[in-house]
């Protein structure tokens, strides 16, 4: 990964280009964790759906008691399925997202990357990752429900919480203020980055969903395989962007004046010919 110049903050296009270059050059390091995560979440979802099947809808002539019983089972199974699948998916995605950030940091700082060590390190930060995820998820959801714009503002504000937690070892609450500090003054740029990779992921997953539906019972395997291709892009991009934002905090390389520095000497006084001492004055002196 190329090192940014300490004097210049890279633009959005540079961040996007570096993201793709980094991902392509280290494809398997990023792809494998997200592939395993996709297979785990997909397989778990299949197990939950088999354990909590949706009840058969009653006929239109069924009694009120039968309809109420059907609705009760339906609501319970739907809520339980959503809870179990979202819970496991949330934890797994937090882990692999943190791993992607750690891998980028290792490459950036010229450290060797071992996936098992990366997994171990990320799990030590899991509580902070999950805590920050709960807080930001609730705030962003409420903001989107309210007027949409507040939700987008919060999404931008908290875009860099995962790099802050994984790289700077901040806590859940501290990462919120740290992310806000990093993106301050770069709201439009941050939104542009999220929008670009959000659109890429959305279009790719739409296509992958259509392709995987052809494979019937093993659609979750195919979908997990294909989704792992694009899933690492956003966490990689946000980590590259995090390092770009750090450039704004670099102190100036120019020396700053201090109180102990003596003032410069005054310029020499030039004597004009009319002011030069005469011979008589020289004798008196």
In this prediction, residue 76 carries a pLDDT of 93
In this prediction, residue 285 carries a pLDDT of 39
- pLDDT by residue (tens digit) across 255-268? 444 444 455 556 55
Angle between helices 187-213 and 12-25 (to 10 degrees): 40
Please list the pLDDT of the chain residue by residue as tens digits (285 residues).
444 444 578 889 999 999 999 999 999 999 999 999 999 999 999 999 999 988 888 887 888 888 888 899 999 999 999 999 999 999 999 999 999 999 999 999 999 989 999 999 999 999 999 999 898 888 888 888 877 788 888 899 999 999 999 999 999 999 999 999 999 989 999 999 999 999 999 999 999 999 998 998 888 999 999 999 999 999 999 999 999 999 877 754 434 444 444 555 565 554 444 445 554 444 443
Domain segments of the chain: what residues? 12-247
Instruction: Provide the token pair at 265.
Output: 């000497």
Distance from C-alpha of 150 to C-alpha of 16, rounded to nearest angstrom: 26
Q: How far is CA 183 from CA 17, 33, 51, 112, 238, in A?
A: 20, 28, 44, 29, 11
The burial of 166, by beta-carbon neighbours within 10 Å (0-12 exposed, 13-18 middle, 19 or more buried), is given as buried
The burial of 160, by beta-carbon neighbours within 10 Å (0-12 exposed, 13-18 middle, 19 or more buried), is given as buried
DSSP 165: H
Distance from C-alpha of 237 to C-alpha of 189, rounded to nearest angstrom: 12
The burial of 2, by beta-carbon neighbours within 10 Å (0-12 exposed, 13-18 middle, 19 or more buried), is given as exposed
DSSP string, 36-91: HHHHHHHHHHHHHHHHSPPPPPPPTT--HHHHHHHHHHHHHHHHHHHHHHHHHHHH
3-class DSSP assignment, residue 170: coil
């Amino acid at each position: 990964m190329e090192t940014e110049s300490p004097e210049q903050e890279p633009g959005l296009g540079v961040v996007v280009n570096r993201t793709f270059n980094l991902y392509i050059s280290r494809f398997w390091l990023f792809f494998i964790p997200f592939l395993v995560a996709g297979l785990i979440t997909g397989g778990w979802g299949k197990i939950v759906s088999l354990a909590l099947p949706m009840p058969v809808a009653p006929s239109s002539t069924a009694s009120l008691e039968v309809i109420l019983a059907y609705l009760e089972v339906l609501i319970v199974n739907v809520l339980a399925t959503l809870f179990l699948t979202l819970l496991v998916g949330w934890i797994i995605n937090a882990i692999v997202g943190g791993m992607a950030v750690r891998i980028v940091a290792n490459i950036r700082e010229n450290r060797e990357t071992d996936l098992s060590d990366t997994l171990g390190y990320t799990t030590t930060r899991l509580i902070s990752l999950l805590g920050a995820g709960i807080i930001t998820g609730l705030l962003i959801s409420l903001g989107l429900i309210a007027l949409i714009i507040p939700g987008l503002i919060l999404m931008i504000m908290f875009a860099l919480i995962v790099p802050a937690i994984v790289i700077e070892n901040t806590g859940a609450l501290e990462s919120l203020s740290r992310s806000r500090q990093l993106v301050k003054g770069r709201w439009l740029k941050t939104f542009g980055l999220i929008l670009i990779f959000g659109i890429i992921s959305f279009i790719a997953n739409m296509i992958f969903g259509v392709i995987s539906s052809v494979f019937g019972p093993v659609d979750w395997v195919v979908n997990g395989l294909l989704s792992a291709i694009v899933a690492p892009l956003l966490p990689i991009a946000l980590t590259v962007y995090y390092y770009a934002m750090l450039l704004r905090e670099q102190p100036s390389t120019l020396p700053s004046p201090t109180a102990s520095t003596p003032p410069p000497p005054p310029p020499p006084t030039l004597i004009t010919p009319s002011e030069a001492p005469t011979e008589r004055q020289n004798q008196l002196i």
